[in-house]
Amino acid sequence: MKQRIVLDLTELTPNAMGSASLTWWGTLAFMLIEGTGFVMMIAVYLYLASLAPAWPPDSPPPDLGPGLWVTLILLVSVVPNILVSRWAGRGDLRRVRIGLVIMTLLGAVALVPRIYEFPAMHVMWDSNAYGSVVWTLLGLHTTHILTDLMDTVVLCALMFTRRGDNPRRFGDVQDNALYWNFVVLAWLPILACLYGVPRQ
Amino acid sequence: MSSDARPRGLRDHQLDDAAGAEALERTWRTPSGWRGFFTTVDHKIIGRRYIVTAFIFLALGGILGLVMRLQLAWPEARYLDPDLYNQIFTMHGSNMMFLFAVPVMEAMGVYLVPLMVGTRNIAFPRLNAFSYWIYLAGGLLLWISFALGMAPDVGWFAYVPLSGPQYGAGKRADIWAQMITFTELSALAVAVEIVVTVLKQRAPGMSLDRMPLFVWTMLVTAFVIILAMPAIMIASTSLILDRLVGTHFFNPAEGGDVLLWQHLFWFFGHPEVYIIFLPAVGMISTILATFSRRPVFGYEPMVLALVGTALLAFGLWVHHMFTTGLPRVAEGFFTASSMAIAVPSGLQIFCWIVTLWYGRPVYRTPLLYVLAFFFTFIIGGMTGVMVASVPLDTQLHDTYFVVAHFHYVLIGGAVFPLLGAVHYWFPKITGRMPSERLGRWSVALTFIGFNLTFFPMHLLGLQGMTRRIYTYQAEMGWGGLNLFVSLSALVLAAGFLVFFVNLGRAARHGEPAGDNPWGAPTLEWATASPPPPYNFAMIPVVRSAHPLWDDEEVLPVASGLRVDRRELLVTRVTDARPEARESSPRNSIWPFWSAVATTIMLISSIFTPWAVVWGAVPIAIALTFWFWPRGMPEEES
Amino acid sequence: MATRRLPPLALLACASATGCSGWQSALDARGSGSRALEALFWPVTAALALVWLAVMLVLAAALLRRRRPVPAQAARRSEIAVWAATLATVLVITVLTVASHLTTRHISRAAADPLVIQVRGYQWWWQVTYPDSDGTGAVVTANEIHLPVGRQVRLELSSADVIHSFWVPSLTGKQDMIPGRDNQLTFVAETPGILRGQCAEFCGLQHAHMALLMVVEPPAEFEAWLAAQRQEAAPPAGPMLRDGQRIFEQRPCGACHRVRGTAAAGEIGPDLTHFASRGTLAAGVLPMTRGAIAAWIADPQTIKPGNNMPLVPLAPDELQAVSAWLASLR
């Protein structure tokens, strides 16, 4: 077909940031998938709880200690996370580097009380259905922390190379921060479920 | 002139047409040979691969169907023992749903959506490549296990406890569950790509209300996939955990529940039907518009019906469980919602008929397939209303009546439009026209063969013939109809054979097609057949819902994109106003290696849970290489 | 003719008859449930067939009508037509929804004093228990349910292993038997006769061979049957039958099967106390004849591959004796 130029894109920005960038939307779509997964798993938890004569069936409710530590660390991590995202938006390489190191450390530190959170449930995964769903919920969320931690580590390493100073990389940092916020946010309903429902 | 000698940042309007095309070709092409085969990220090559692979699975699944018909042709036949028969019907169902129907619909989207919205590649093209390899690995896992005699034998629905640790011996149910993981992973990846492509990569001016209906259906389908598939991922993972590490999700003795499986499975399983059917709605709308020479009547009601169907699809799952003894209130609610789905479907059918009423129908093969669709799908819809009624369902459920019903819906509703669509877009994909004569033969044979095969099954079901039985006794009196059904299946198979022969011949010897052989209105016909690697030399500018009918001679386009790197246009979600020039990733081998690493992890985890731990290491390495920047022009800002 | 002798004859009759109506068909109602369902089925089918026909006719008209220039008011007319048709769809499905709701209510109406029978699904047979209601003892049998005509029956359904589904289409719709859950079915059998049912939920290798017979008889005959079933097995008459019983007790047979009044007290397989009074053996696979019993014992895995009855090696005369004894358990 013959063509006739009716629109000139020469001046259009090559730096798509935020909602103009494809990866931002991709991250959102993946969050929708993961979020649906969490919702389904919580639904499984509540479904099994609704069938059981007692919940937990034959163990005390989980100890709050490690869970609260995890929550505290996750909530605290949101502050540097938002700052990193803001610095990335400004293209401040030095601060982004520092922020990513902090986020790496916080992510790793959150895993420490998480290790103690599993035994604090007072049930093994193969004891009964309660144990199965509790361990799976915790495991699912831990996988998300691990995945995003991996991503942060790689991104952090990348920002210390010569390829780091690039608006694209800053965009990646923002998307990574967005995803970490999601991981933190997703934890709250799980927390309410794991610790609240057995105390009803 | 080597590319190094070119100034960086060369734009398309700085070159004449031929030089621009050459530069774009150099930037976007896929190298020939094995390297190109494993590294390509071109949505057309991957889409074509997906389609061909899915049709191979269709043929294999069809052969399994014929083998079952051989066994059932006579009472007490002994061609297959029950173990093999159970594997075969499980393979048939799982293969058709997970390896053919869903992937082929997504594959059509992978190929067509970027062309129809006027962009140069799908969003996240490397993820697209990865999704194909993962899909292929899932298919191979299932079929190799079949060849080794250890295929799943628990039905495509894998109800516990039959599939659980106590009754499902060996690794068969694990293979089924992990095959689910593979196919859902690939389906979810493609859904994300399609959502982002449709929302952000539409040609300037293609506001939401100017989007082709097929693109709308793919967008809605992608969202249904995103919301439905996590349920089955969780179901299959819980099943594997029950089987492998001794969890008790489905064990009533330890507080688990057998029906939990069915809730999870059908929360996915019913939307699954619409994941298959909605793209077919888009195909029908496209074919009808082109061959009745007018736009589909009622664009807005059509879109509303689509969205309505998608929403209702999540409120129907319990109608697969009407005989499990659920509370009456639930049954009443799900009867009403299941019947309500007839309203949006009806609305669409009425709009299509009105389109034909005022149109000037051109009876080519694709339209004939759509007419076959009307005849069969509406029968399926009617029997669907019957099984939606709780009391009637207690007689019809799990009998051959239901087998008839869902084949009417799936083959009549989705496969006929799909065959029409493949026929319709074949000239675009290959540049060659299929034979009209053979096309008509294939329509006639599949249509007649299908109805003769499946209509009698309604009667068999009413006469008490239950599903999933490997044989029946002579005194049941089902022998005559079953023999008739088995013979008719040969006619249906012949129809598919003619279809394949037609396309196989046309791919080599067909008449050259030209850009727009059917006189169609949508953007994919504005470029060459087959399209060049960059799809469009310049991005089209859209001013109506039927750009090629309104601008018949000259295509309005936008200029200013770079030709020395892979660059495409990002536009706003609602009105498609240009927002940014975005680069698109180059070819890479790492999606392939990531898929290999993921495959090793997933298959090993059938045997040991630790595979999840050590298997994650190569995956993480491959993914790092995938995303690690290499200083290509695509990374410039 | 006594109903007691019906089963084998009915099998024969059915094998020779072409239509076999009432045997296992949703469209030959012999019970309250299936009659209500049939009464719903035909009007619904007719209504939907008419809808289909109407759509096809309009489609045909759309294709075959003479092409004239599209009138100016085409869009308006189309709109009215589409919305009218959609409204009609809404009406039709509303009527159908209400009708099916009313049918459900009608079917599940419970009478005051139903006859309770427990049916438990096993891979791949049915255990049938008539609970002890008056201190005379429970009756346990398998693969055959006797019912009095005209009295409401409540079946309490459960499963011992995987999901099964109880379905005798001529009596009423199906109901699943789910491990860990209790379901029930109530209905009235309206005419005497023998009906067949089979498992409707895929349950493994021999799902195809999990059938049962429903023997509907006049109340007096039913009571007589029940009284006979309460008895222990009759002592063997003659040396051959005595040998049969002894072999049965000494070999693994008795580890799985119970025959009340003998040392055989197994719990795994079907209760065989009045084995030969049933119409079929192996859940509907073979007719109840002495030859079939011998064939079944000699090679259960060829007749019903994968079933849980192992091959117990017996010498020819032992096989003769055991099958003769079993055939005497009436």
C99: closest chain B residue by CA: B389
Average pLDDT over residues B595-616: 95
Q: Among A12, A15, A27, A163, pick the best mutation site for testing chain B contact (most B Cβ within 10 A).
A: A12
CB contacts, 8 Å: B560 with chain A: 8-12
CB contact under 8 A, B579 and A20: yes
Chain B residues within an 8 Å CB radius of C160: none
Contact C100 B252 (CB under 8 A): no
Question: Does position B635 have pLDDT exceeding 90, yes or no?
Answer: no
DSSP state, residue B314: T
Q: What is the pLDDT of residue C137?
A: 84
Chains in touch with C (≥3 Cβ pairs < 8 A): B
Residues of B in Cβ contact (< 8 Å) with C78: 297-298, 354, 357-358
The CA distance from A140 to the nearest CA of chain B, in Å, is 10
Closest residue in chain B to residue A149, using alpha carbons only: B620
Nearest to A148 by CA among A156, A137, A160: A156
| Residue among C15, C62, C103 minimizing CB distance to B391 | C103
Residue B413 has pLDDT above 70, yes or no: yes
Q: How far apart are CA A156 and CA A97, in angstroms?
A: 7
Are C200 and B399 inside 8 Å of each other by CB?
yes
Question: B194 is written with which tokens?
Answer: 């399609």
Q: Which CATH architecture fits B45-585?
A: Up-down Bundle (1.20)
Quote the pLDDT of residue C293: 96
**Among the partner residues B83, B379, B476, nearest to C205 by beta-carbon distance:** B83
Q: Choose the mutation target among B260, B296, B387, B389 for the interface with C, i.e. most C CBs under 10 Å.
A: B389
Q: Is the pLDDT of residue A176 over 70?
A: yes
Average pLDDT over residues B448-460: 97
pLDDT at B541: 96
| C-alpha dihedral, B543 to B545 to B549 to B554, nearest 10° | 30
Spatial CB neighbours of C227, under 8 Å, sequence gap ≥ 6: none
Question: How far, in Å, CA of B40 to CA of A125, rounded?
Answer: 43
Name the residue ranges covered by the structural domains of chain C.
32-107, 115-230, 239-327
Return the residue in B316, B473, B481 with the most chain C beta carbons within 10 A, the one to mutate for interface testing. Answer: B473
Interface check for B360 against chain C (CB to CB < 8 A): the answer is yes
Tell me the pLDDT of chain B averaged across its residues.
95
Contact B258 C180 (CB under 8 A): yes
Q: Which CATH class is domain C239-327?
A: mainly beta
Is the CB of A22 less than 8 angstroms away from the CB of B201?
yes
Strand C152-159 vs strand C115-122: parallel, antiparallel, or unpaired? parallel
The answer to whether the Cβ–Cβ distance between A7 and B583 falls below 8 Å is: no
Please report the sign of the dihedral spanned by the C-alpha atoms of residue B507, residue B511, residue B514, residue B520.
negative
Superfamily of domain C115-230: Cupredoxins -  blue copper proteins (2.60.40.420)
Q: What is the pLDDT along chain C (330 residues), one digit of tens a residue?
A: 333 444 444 444 444 343 344 589 999 999 999 999 999 999 999 999 999 999 999 999 999 998 888 888 888 999 999 999 999 999 999 999 999 999 988 887 877 889 999 999 999 999 999 998 778 889 999 999 999 999 999 999 999 999 999 999 999 999 999 999 999 999 999 999 999 999 999 999 999 999 999 999 999 999 999 999 999 999 999 999 999 999 999 999 999 999 999 999 999 999 999 999 999 999 999 999 999 999 999 999 999 999 999 999 999 999 999 999 999 999
- Whether cis (ω within 30° of 0) applies to the bond prior to B161 is yes
> Residue B167, SS3?
coil
Q: Mutate which of B582, B594, B612, B617 to test chain A, going by most A C-beta atoms within 10 A?
A: B582
User: What integer is the mean pLDDT of B288-317?
Assistant: 94
A and B: number of Cβ contacts within 8 A: 196
In whole angstroms, how far apart are CA C106 and each of A141, B37, B391, C171, C184? 49, 64, 10, 15, 16
Cβ contacts from B onto C, under 8 A: 228
CA distance readout (Å), C228 to B526, C75, C225, C231: 85, 78, 5, 5
Question: What are phi and psi for residue C322, nearest 5 degrees?
Answer: -65, -45
A9 CA to chain B: closest CA distance, Å? 5
Residue of B nearest to A128 (CA): B254
> Could you tell me which chains touch chain A, where touching means 3 or more CB pairs under 8 A?
B
Determine the average pLDDT of the residues in B22-35.
94
C246 touches chain B (CB under 8 A): no
Rounded distance between C-alpha atoms, residue B371 and residue B369, angstroms: 5
Which residue out of B400, B466, B467, B468 would a mutagenesis test of the C interface target, given it has the greatest number of C Cβ atoms within 10 Å? B466
Q: Flag if C306 and B83 touch (Cβ within 8 Å).
A: yes
The CA-based angle C242-C246-C250, given to 5 degrees, is 175
Chain A hits for B233, CB-CB cut-off 8 Å, are 37
pLDDT band at B7 (very low <50, low <70, confident <90, very high): low
Q: pTM of the full predicted structure?
A: 0.95
CA dihedral sign, ordered B611, B612, B616, B619: positive
Q: Is C198 helix (H, G, I), strand (E, B) or coil?
A: strand
Contact C44 B386 (CB under 8 A): yes
Average pLDDT of chain A is 94
Using the beta-carbon criterion (under 8 Å), do A36 and B230 form an inter-chain contact? yes
pLDDT at C95: 95
CB spacing of A1 vs B201 below 8 angstroms:
no
* Facing residue for B397 by CB, picked from C18, C161, C174: C174
Give the mean pLDDT of A21-30: 95
**Mutate: best of C174, C177, C303, partner B, most B CBs <10 A:** C174
Kindly determine whether residue C174 and residue B375, on different chains, have CB atoms separated by under 8 Å.
no
- Would you kindly state where each structural domain of chain A is located, as residue ranges? 22-199
Question: What's the pLDDT tens digit per position in B380-391?
Answer: 999 999 999 999
Inspect the interface and report whether the beta carbons of B238 and A44 lie closer than 8 Å: yes
At residue B8, the pLDDT reads 72
- Per-residue confidence band for B6, with pLDDT thresholds at 50, 70 and 90: low
Measuring CA to CA, which residue among C14, C46, C35, C75 is closest to residue C211?
C14
Q: Using the 8-state DSSP alphabet, how is residue C114 labeled? A: P
Comparing alpha-carbon positions, the chain B residue that sits nearest to C156 is B325
pLDDT value, residue C9 = 44
For B193-218, the pLDDT digits (tens) are 999 999 999 999 999 999 999 999 99
Check pLDDT > 90 for residue B64. yes
Give residue B5's pLDDT.
47
**How large is the average pLDDT for residues A68-97?**
96
Query: Which stretches of B320-435 are DSSP H helices?
Result: 328-340, 342-358, 365-388, 390-396, 400-407, 416-430
Q: Residue B162 and residue C202: Cβ atoms within 8 Å?
A: yes
Residue with the bigger pLDDT between C15 and B142: it is: B142
**Portion 276-315 of C in contact with B at CB < 8 A:** 284, 305-306
Residue B613, helix vs strand vs coil: helix
Q: What is the pLDDT confidence band of residue B17, given thresholds at 50, 70 and 90?
A: confident
pLDDT tens figures, B267-287: 999 999 999 999 999 999 999
Name which of A26, A44, A48 is nearest B123 (Cβ-Cβ).
A26
For C5, the token pair is 């002798």
Per the CB < 8 Å rule, is B557 touching A154? no
Chain C residues 26-45 with CB within 8 Å of chain B: 26-27, 34, 36-37, 40-41, 44-45
Nearest CA to CA, how far is C97 from chain B (Å)? 6
Contact at CB, B353 and C56, closer than 8 angstroms: no
Please report the beta strands in C93-236, taking only residues with DSSP state E, as ranges in sequence order.
Answer: 115-122, 125-130, 139-142, 144-148, 152-159, 164-166, 175-177, 183-188, 193-198, 211-217
Nearest CA in chain B to A130: B255
| pLDDT tens digits, one per residue of A156-172 | 999 999 888 888 899 99
Contact A5 B538 (CB under 8 A): yes
Q: Looking at residue C108, what is its pLDDT?
A: 79
Contacts of B627 in chain A (CB under 8 A): 154
Identify the H or E element spanning B579. Answer: strand B578-583
Segment B306-343, tens digit of pLDDT? 999 999 999 999 999 999 998 888 888 889 999 999 99
Tell whether ipTM is more than 0.85.
Answer: yes
Domain boundaries, chain B: 45-585, 586-637
Fold match between C115-230 and C239-327?
Answer: yes
Q: Between 3.40.50.10470, 1.20.120.80, 1.10.10.10, 1.10.357.10, what CATH number should domain A22-199 receive?
A: 1.20.120.80
